[in-house]
Amino acid sequence: MRSSKVPRKTKWRDAALIAAAQKVEHYEIASYGTLATLAEQLGYRKAAKLLKETLEEEKATDIKLTDLALIT
């Protein structure tokens, strides 16, 4: 947990940076989800599998950022 002695300005900056990172993650989640579905529909099973793995990594990163935001 962060110390209450951290300046308020720093906390706001940290929160803004986390929010910006989550915007990127959400864009990537939407993109990889769409691409994985498209690859699967076109029969590119290997590509679909890799895209789904990447999608799960992006989701995990989003969860970590959410956890970080909660303690900031």
- In the chain, the percentage of residues whose pLDDT exceeds 90 is 82
pLDDT value of position 6: 66
CA dihedral 35, 37, 41, 43 (to 10 degrees): 70
Which pLDDT band, with edges at 50, 70 and 90, does 16 fall under? very high
pTM: 0.83
Domains of the chain: 8-71 (1.20.1260.10)
| Dist. CA 59–CA 33, nearest whole Å | 10
